[in-house]
Structure 1
Amino acid sequence: MSDDQAFRPNRRSLLAGIAFTLFAPNIVRAADDSTTGTKPADNKAAARNEEKAEDAPPQLAGDYAKERHLFRTDLLSKGPAPDIYEPLVTPSTAERLFYRSGVGEELELVAWVSRYTRSDKPKPAVLFLHGGNAIGQGHWQLMKPYVEAGYVVMIPSMRGENGQKGNFSGFYDEVADVLAASNRLRHLPGVDPHRMFLAGHSIGGTLAMLAAMSTRRFRAVAPISGNPDAYAFFGRYPQDIRFNTRNPREYQMRSPLCYAHSFKSPVKLFHGTEEAHFDSRLALLTKRATAAGVKMEMATVTGSHNSALPGEIAQSIEFFRSVAV
C-alpha cells in the first residue's frame, strides 16, 4: 500500500514525509505531491499526464523574474494554507526571528535559524524550504547535517501557515516569501551573502525552483522531489487550487518547466529512485535549461519520497561545497 493510500484522510500534515518517518511517529504523515505506488483511481488521467513529457507545459519566452513583476495571481478563494499544523514552538537548537513579506511588507512571518557564533570569516548559509504547507519540529531536525557542515540554516514559514496571516496561493505569492526570507538571512550578522544556498523538499522543492528563477542571490540551488509542472500537480490535488483556472497564465507562472531558461544559479535536481513519476518531467526541465546555458544536473538517490531525503541532503551539501568552499 502506498503512503498516499495509507494516510488518505489527512493527505498532508505539518511534518511532510520523512520528518514524520524519522522523528514524529505519533503524528499523521504528509503525502505531499510525490507519493509512489498506486495512484488514486480518480486521478488516473492526471497520473498519465505527469508521466508523459509530451504533455508537459509549453516553453515560453521571457525571463521569469520579469514576468513576475507583471503578473498578479487572481485568487478566487482566500484563506489559510490547507494543512494540519502544530503550534509554532521554536526548536531547542534554533532561534526564532521574524521576516516581513507581502505588498507593503504587511506580513510578519516566523522563521527558525540555527544558533551560531560569529567568527572572523563569515559563514555560508542554507535557506531550506520545508515540504507540505505547514512547518513543524520534524523539519528542523532534518537540518542537523547542514548545521554540522558549518552552515547557518534558516527554515521560513510561509503566509497562511500555522495560523499566521496571509492567503495561501499555491506556488505563487509564497515565492515572494522565500525571497523576503532570503533577504533576511543574508543580512544576519556573520552570514556571508556571497555563499548563500537554497534547498527545499517536495512543495519546498518546487518553490526552490521558482525562487531560483527569480533572483541571482543564491550561489547554488538543490530542489529535492519538487514538481516542475503545475498542471500535473494541481491535476492530482485540485483541492489545493485557489486561483482562477480559466487563465492559463496561472498555471504557467507556477511551472518551472515553462521558464527553464530563467534559472540564475547552478542547480542540482534530486529525487528518489522510487519516484519514477518524476523522471520525465525533471529530465525535460534539465534538457530545456541546459540548452539555454543553465548549469543543471539531475541525480537520483536510493529510496522513496521520504527515505531518500537524508541521502539527498548529504549530496546537496557535497554539491554546495563543489560550487563554493
Structure 2
Amino acid sequence: MTRSEDNAFRPSRRTVLAGLAVTMLAPNIAKATETKVLDAKATETKTTETNVVDPKAAKPADAPADPPLLTGDYAKERHKFRTDLLNKGPAPDKYEPLVAPTGAEQIFYRSGLGGELELVAWVSRYERTPKPKPAVLFLHGGNAIGQGHWLLMKPYIDAGYVVMIPSTRGENGQKGNFSGFYDEVADVLAASNRLRHLPGVDPHRLFLAGHSVGGTLAMLAAMSSKRFRAATPMSGNPDAFAFFHRYPEDIRFNAKNPREFQMRSAICYAHSFKCPLKVMHANQEANIEPRLALLAKRALAGGVKIELATVQGSHNSAVQGEIEQSIQFFRSVAA
C-alpha cells in the first residue's frame, strides 16, 4: 500500500455527506469550509447542476407503480445482459483530487473487460493480527469519492473492521464510462475481491454497506455474489424506473429498452439476494418507503432474510444512526 498526504476538503455537486461528515466528526474543519450541496439523489432530492443530455438517450415513460417481478436469478441475468450505452463519458459529478485521507491507504484494483480499468480505493490502515479481521466494503453516495466520505468510516474502524471505500469507473477523472447502476456493479465486485484478499482480512466475514447511490449499488451487488456475509443498504432506491424518470439527465443507456431499467432495479429481482440484509432509510424519506416495503415483501416471499428499518432524520442526518445499526447487524449475523 502507498501512503498519501491528506488533502483539504473540497465540496462537490453530489459528494454524499461530505459536509455532513465534516460537521459531525470534524467541527473545526466545518467552520473553515462552506458546505455546498449534499447528495440526496437516490431519494430524489435534486441539486441545481445538471448534465448535458444526449438526445438519443430518451426520457423513460412514466414509472410503473409496481415494477415487474421477474423470475430469473439476477446474477445469471447479468452474465447474459450487456448495457447499451448511447452516451459514453465520465461520471457526472464534480470531484476532488484522488488523495488518500488521513488514516487511509490508497490502493488500486482492476475491473472492466480483461481488467482494463485500474481504479482507486481507500483502505483503513490496520495491523495484522493472529485472527483475521472482518472487513466492510462501503459504497459512497453520489458519483465521486471525496474526503468527507472517509470521515464517516470511523465507527466501523473503531469497531474493529478493515474498511475499504472504492471509487468506480469514470469517477474523479478515472477511465471508464459511467453507466448508472450497471457496469459499476462489476467494479464493486472487483473491489470486494481485492478487499477479501488483503493480508489479514477474513474473507468469510466480508460485509457490504452503502448510502444513497451507494445503497442502490449495494443492493445490486448483494444479488450478484455470494461472497458477502451480510449487507446494509442505506437510503438506496431499488426502482430504476422511478429514479431515472426523475433524473433523465443521468441516463446514458438506451431508455427505449425496458430491460435496461429492470437490470438496474433490485425490486425486479428481490428474490435474488444472496445474503441477509438490513435495508434502512430515514424517516423523512417517505418517497422511497413504499418501494423499499415492496422490495422487502418480495424478498421475504423469495426466502430472503431481510429487515426493513427506519432511522430518525433526513437523507443525510440519519447516516450516523444507520451506520451504528449496520455494525450491530453485522455483529448479530457473524456472532
Structure 1 residue aligned with 2:277: 267
Structure 2 residue aligned with 1:115: 125
The structural deviation recorded for 1:303 is 0.1
CA distance in 2: counterparts of 1:238 and 1:156, whole angstroms: 25
Normalising by structure 2, report the TM-score: 0.87
Aligned residues: 304
One of 303, 312, 320 as aligned partner of 2:322: 312
CA distance in 1: counterparts of 2:140 and 2:166, whole angstroms: 8
Name the Cα RMSD after superposition. Answer: 2.0
The structural deviation recorded for 1:278 is 1.2
Please tell me the residue identity of whatever aligns with 2:144: A
Structure 2 residue aligned with 1:187: 197
CA distance in 2: counterparts of 1:237 and 1:14, whole angstroms: 13
Alignment of 1:25-44 (within 5 A): 25-34=33-42
One of 94, 97, 112 as aligned partner of 1:102: 112
CA distance in 2: counterparts of 1:299 and 1:177, whole angstroms: 27
One of 283, 286, 292 as aligned partner of 1:276: 286
CA distance in 2: counterparts of 1:292 and 1:14, whole angstroms: 35
CA distance in 1: counterparts of 2:185 and 2:107, whole angstroms: 19
Structure 1 residue aligned with 2:267: 257
Contact 1:95 1:112 survives alignment (8 Å): yes
- Residue-by-residue CA offset, 1:56-95 (whole Å, 9 max, x unaligned): 2100011000000000000000000000100011101100
CA distance in 1: counterparts of 2:258 and 2:124, whole angstroms: 40
Normalising by structure 1, report the TM-score: 0.90
Structure 1 residue aligned with 2:13: 13
**Helix, strand or coil: the match of 1:227?**
coil
Contact 1:125 1:195 survives alignment (8 Å): yes
One of 209, 223, 232 as aligned partner of 1:213: 223
In structure 2, the CA distance between the partners of 1:14 and 1:278, relative to structure 1 (3 Å rule), is: closer
The structural deviation recorded for 1:35 is 5.4
**Helix, strand or coil: the match of 1:55?**
coil
Structure 2 residue aligned with 1:237: 247
The structural deviation recorded for 1:12 is 6.6
CA distance in 2: counterparts of 1:181 and 1:187, whole angstroms: 10
Structure 1 residue aligned with 2:55: none
The structural deviation recorded for 1:309 is 0.3
CA distance in 2: counterparts of 1:161 and 1:88, whole angstroms: 10
**Helix, strand or coil: the match of 2:172?**
coil
Structure 1: gaps (5+ residues):
1-10, 41-45
CA distance in 1: counterparts of 2:14 and 2:318, whole angstroms: 19
Contact 2:232 2:278 survives alignment (8 Å): yes
Structure 2: gaps (5+ residues):
1-10, 23-29, 49-58
Relative to its length, the structure with more helix (as a share) is: 1
Please tell me the residue identity of whatever aligns with 1:221: A
In structure 2, the CA distance between the partners of 1:211 and 1:34, relative to structure 1 (3 Å rule), is: closer
In structure 2, the CA distance between the partners of 1:287 and 1:156, relative to structure 1 (3 Å rule), is: same
